[in-house]
């Protein structure tokens, strides 16, 4: 059994999430061989800790079905990728092409027939123990479930030209539009101050904006807020919003539904501001202030101004 890992890359370097998938695959393989497959990017392959690094020579931008066709041509029996947008998408295509079963967002796995995996449901709020049956097994690895592979290797780099079908290139990226605002992104901000239904109105977010500004952070929100049209969906934290991992997360007037919490599992510390001491968020927060967000947040910004003179 050789385990094949689809490695995504940018600017000559393998992606962090792909290195995590590689670590997962090395562990799953035990003493068996692990190979990598890349679409272009021989540079990124040169010191991967694998036996062979297959490099598909494909021109043009991202084309999920074509990428999957290239990978499927290597006839893997075990195929692993990162649980990234592209990792999940390419492996779903590859599952059809290889006739395999795909378990997305795994956090642990043990080889065998069937293979046993533990995977994320509900954005990580629930885990599922499952079996993968059949001769071809595919897994993606949930982001940040395992540490990345750090050892360097000296793989045989094997370029190949995949045989594509016409239909493989129908869906491909034909244009890339830059949408960066130049500002700090929600996903990367060191401090996030989020508001929920308890903030009461779009105007109620002004004190949260001020606090976020003073802490070098950004404002987020819950789905109750985006559904009410108070803020744009780009601010939503959660299972169907943005996943954040700040040093400090400050949810204000947010109850702590599992789908919201699925988006802030990466936060180091959590300070909840809520009028209800029994709110579910109290079971996940490190610290809490009980009371009305409309009174508490302005008091905090006033105190910050006072101490900074």
Partner 1 sequence: MDVLVCVKRVPLTGGKMVLTADERGIETRHLGFTVSPHEECGVEEAVRLVEAHGGSVTVVTLGPPEAEEQLRDALAIGADRAILLETDGSDWDPESTAAALADVIAADAPDLVIFGNESADAGGYQVGIRVAHALGRPCVTGLKALAVEDGQLRGEQESGSARDVYRVPLPAVVTVKEGINLPRYPSVPAKLRARRKPVERREPERRDARLELVRLVVPEGRGRQAEVLGEGPSAAPAVVELFQRLGVA
Instruction: Using CB atoms within 10 Å of the CB of residue 43, give its burial: 0 to 12 exposed, 13 to 18 middle, 19+ buried.
Output: middle
206 binds partner 1 (CB under 8 A): no
CB 240 to ligand FAD: min, Å: 4
Q: Which does 104 bind (CB under 5 to 8 A by kind): ligand FAD, partner 1, none?
A: partner 1
Which positions from 284 to 303 touch partner 1 by CB under 8 A, shown as an x/- string? xxxxxxxxx--xx-xxx-xx
Total site size for ligand FAD, rule CB under 6 A: 27
Please state the closest distance from residue 114 (CB atom) to ligand FAD, in A.
29
Whether 259 contacts 223, CB under 8 Å: yes
Q: 119: exposed, middle or buried (C-beta count within 10 Å: 0-12, 13-18, 19+)?
A: buried
In contact, 48 and 14? CB cutoff 8 Å:
yes
Given a contact cutoff of 8 angstroms between Cβ atoms, the answer to whether 163 and 60 are in contact is no
Return the range that interacts with ligand FAD (CB under 6 A); candidates 62-70, 93-101, 157-165, 269-277. 269-277
> Is 223 in contact with 241 (CB distance < 8 Å)?
yes
Residues contacting 295, CB < 8 A, separation 6+? none
Tokens standing for 4?
Answer: 């094949």
Six-digit token pair at 226?
A: 């985006």
Total residues in contact with partner 1, by rule CB under 8 A: 101
307 binds, among partner 1, ligand FAD, none (CB under 5 to 8 A by kind): partner 1
3-state secondary structure of 212: helix
272 contributes a contact to ligand FAD by CB under 6 A: no
Using CB under 8 A, which of the segments 13-21, 26-34, 50-58, 230-238 binds partner 1? 230-238
**Residues 32 and 151: beta-carbon distance below 8 Å:** no
Q: To the nearest whole angstrom, how small is the minimum distance from the Cβ of residue 294 to ligand FAD?
A: 6
Q: Yes or no: say if 144 and 84 are a contact pair by the CB < 8 Å rule.
A: no
Is 214 a residue that touches partner 1 (CB under 8 A)?
yes
Report strand pairing: 115-121 vs 101-110: antiparallel
Residue 165 binds to partner 1 (criterion: CB under 8 A): no
Question: Which x/- pattern over 227-256 shows residues binding ligand FAD (rule: CB under 6 A)?
Answer: ---------xxxxxx-----------xxx-
Binding mask 246-275 for partner 1 (x = CB under 8 A): -xx------xxxxx---------xxxx---
Binding to ligand FAD (CB under 6 A) within 99-158 occurs at: none
Can you tell me which of 125, 275, 284, 301 binds ligand FAD, judged by CB under 6 A? 275
Rank residues 28 and 53 by Cβ distance to partner 1 and give the closer one: 28
Kindly list the distances between the CA atom of residue 307 and the CA atoms of 179, 300, 303, 304, in Å, as whole numbers in the listed order: 38, 11, 6, 5
The residue within the footprint of ligand FAD, chosen from 113, 247, 292, 303 (CB under 6 A), is 292
For the CB of residue 273, give the shortest distance to ligand FAD in the complex, in Å: 6
Closest contact distance (angstroms) between CB of 253 and ligand FAD is: 4
- State the Cα angle at 255 between 298 and 107, rounded to 5°: 120
Work out how close the CB of 216 gets to partner 1 at its nearest, in angstroms, rounded to a whole number: 7
Secondary structure (3-state) at 282? helix
């Amino acid at each position: 059994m050789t385990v094949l890992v689809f490695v995504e890359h940018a600017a000559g370097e393998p992606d962090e999430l792909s290195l995590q998938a590689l670590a997962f695959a090395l562990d799953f393989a035990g003493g068996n061989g692990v190979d990598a497959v890349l679409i272009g990017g021989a540079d990124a392959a040169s010191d991967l800790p694998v036996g062979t690094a297959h490099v598909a020579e494909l021109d043009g931008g991202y084309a999920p079905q074509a990428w999957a066709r290239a990978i499927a041509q290597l006839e893997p029996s075990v195929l692993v990728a990162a649980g990234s947008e592209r990792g999940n998408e390419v492996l779903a295509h590859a599952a059809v092409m290889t006739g395999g079963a795909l378990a997305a967002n795994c956090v642990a796995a043990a080889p065998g027939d069937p293979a046993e995996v533990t995977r994320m449901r509900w954005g990580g709020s629930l885990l599922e123990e499952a079996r993968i049956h059949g001769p071809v097994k595919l897994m993606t690895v949930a982001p940040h479930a395992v540490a990345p592979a750090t050892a360097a290797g000296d793989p045989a780099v094997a370029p190949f030209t995949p045989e594509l079908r016409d239909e493989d290139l129908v869906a491909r990226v034909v244009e890339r539009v830059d949408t960066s605002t130049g500002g700090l992104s929600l996903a990367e901000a060191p401090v996030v101050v989020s508001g929920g239904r308890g903030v009461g109105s779009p105007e109620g977010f002004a004190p949260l904006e001020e606090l976020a500004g003073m802490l070098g952070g950004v404002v987020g929100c819950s789905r109750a807020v985006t559904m009410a049209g108070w803020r744009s969906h780009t601010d939503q934290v959660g299972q169907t919003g943005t996943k954040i991992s700040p040093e400090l997360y400050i949810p204000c007037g947010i109850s702590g539904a599992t789908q919201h919490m699925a988006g802030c599992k990466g936060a180091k510390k959590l300070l909840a501001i809520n009028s209800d001491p029994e709110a579910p968020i109290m079971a996940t927060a490190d610290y809490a202030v009980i009371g009305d967000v409309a009174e508490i947040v302005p008091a905090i910004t006033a105190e910050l101004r006072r101490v900074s003179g």
